[in-house]
Structure 1
């Protein structure tokens, strides 16, 4: 069923989703055959979905451009509600529409019903995964993280790693709204075998692919640019593109060094990506030509 959770924190809308694909034909086991569940259609309109990919694709294909240009959420809600009416699990899909043109308006669409939701907190998807998220959310808040959005990010990530359902998992994709509109958020994470830190050492070093260590970075565009993001892995040096204009499959895997990867993505897709990567020493460095808003980058998590 997948999982998408939206929460307003300090007048910004934060949205997290997984990317695991699910359809009525077969369970997908390849993590790079994932799907983009948070689709930025304009700086002020974002649509999220959870459920059957084939039904969701039919729904998105029927969206008219003028509804997006005119912020016509009424027509969007009516249209998407027609695709959420099925009670059959194999065909069911839920939607969330977030209109950020003025004050954030959130509409949840499930089983053909349109609910005007409090933008403070909304979710769709797998029930068990949602309750696991709540458990981890309360545990994370109890650790007194300095920022609520960091606790939100961490709790969602822990939930994905321990998801109770086969239809929830793989990668985390996140979106945030600011004064310029919606944009995908960047983060960097390092995964490394257990290590013993030397006296005076505070950074875990990646030990290389042979020892099972790697880092994952989500690279993104700015809110006032063509929306898009990519997942990039070091030191393996390959990445995959997530394009909201075609959310029902990941782009091709490009085996390229980071700077070449950024250039090729800009040439092919028009995405001017930036973010941060974790290098072989375990240090974080920025990539891309633009200044990154550090407050929206999420947390770097060292998993041991």
Structure 2
């Protein structure tokens, strides 16, 4: 009976030792896993760099021509691709401005290298240069980092344009009336005026006519004699609603529609004059 008890005690002791050994191994494994991961990560991040450096180690083989003169050469590193070049301020041309409330103030700017014309409101990023921070009739300012870039409106007509021959009405209105509401415009004179769109944008001041929070045409003021607006009979106080049935309900449409007049053979203007809707049609000859 005593032998059985001794044997049972030995077996229980062995089982206890096995359990303790398993517990100890788990504790040691847990501590090791918390000690070495950072080292393993550092080694894994260094491996790509080591592999890149290995390429330069083969340069001597390439230069000496291990397999003959035909295989001689130099190891040329792969050049990293560069992103698109940033827009230079000298690449921008201010075509026109409109000054009103915050939402009614904008600038029409041309990027000459790509011939891209866009309308920017206050606060908009001008291409990749910076935000538009100031708009005046004579120019705009763009914030570029710690400095401000100024773009001036093209108010001077080039000598070539000024000397170019136009119709006999060049000194005055270039639209001759044929009947009430109908006019004829000399095509060469109209195209000459639109060739310098920057100058044309300074021939009058256009302010959005806001109604119920929406733009319904543009109020015209400061019309210059001999300019494109005076040419087609637009006077101070008119509200221009549409051109060729395209409603002028945004600065973008107003700018784009004015630019598209070149090459047209007929123009239709819908406007409000003295509080009454009025339509003018023009034949371009």
Provide the TM-score with structure 2 as the length reference: 0.29
- Decide which structure has greater helix share: 2
The structure with higher relative contact order (CA 8 Å, sep 6+) is 1
Mark the structure with the bigger radius of gyration. 2
Provide the TM-score with structure 1 as the length reference: 0.27
